[in-house]
């Protein structure tokens, strides 16, 4: 009978985004410099993530 080894969980490979980066994107959107769609394309972030920040 074979024994099953417990596999380690896969680690997330998402970008770790710091607070200063979030604040800079947020302030650009709030001040009307860029739209959320443009910010998501420019920074390679999902629009839902930006909507969550706001």
pLDDT of residue 15: 64
Alpha helices in 9-46 (DSSP H): 19-30, 36-43
Residues in CB range of 41: below 8 A, 6 or more apart: none
* Assigned domain for 40 exists: yes
pTM for the model stands at 0.59
* Assigned domain for 47 exists: yes
* Assigned domain for 12 exists: no
Q: How many domains does the chain have?
A: 1
* Assigned domain for 46 exists: yes
pLDDT of residue 31: 93
Dihedral angle sign, alpha carbons of residues 33, 38, 21, 51: positive
Q: What is the mean pLDDT of the chain?
A: 80
The residue among 2 and 30 whose pLDDT is bigger is: 30
* Assigned domain for 10 exists: no
* pLDDT range class, residue 7, cuts 50, 70, 90: low
Structure token pair of residue 23: 């604040």
Domain range for 35: 19-53
CA distances (Å), origin 41, targets 7, 37, 50: 36, 6, 11
């Amino acid at each position: 009978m074979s024994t099953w080894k417990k596999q380690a969980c896969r680690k997330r490979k998402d970008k770790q985004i710091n607070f200063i980066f979030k604040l800079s994107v947020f302030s650009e959107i709030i001040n009307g410099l860029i739209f959320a769609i443009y910010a998501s394309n420019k920074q390679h972030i999902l629009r839902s993530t930006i909507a969550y920040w706001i």
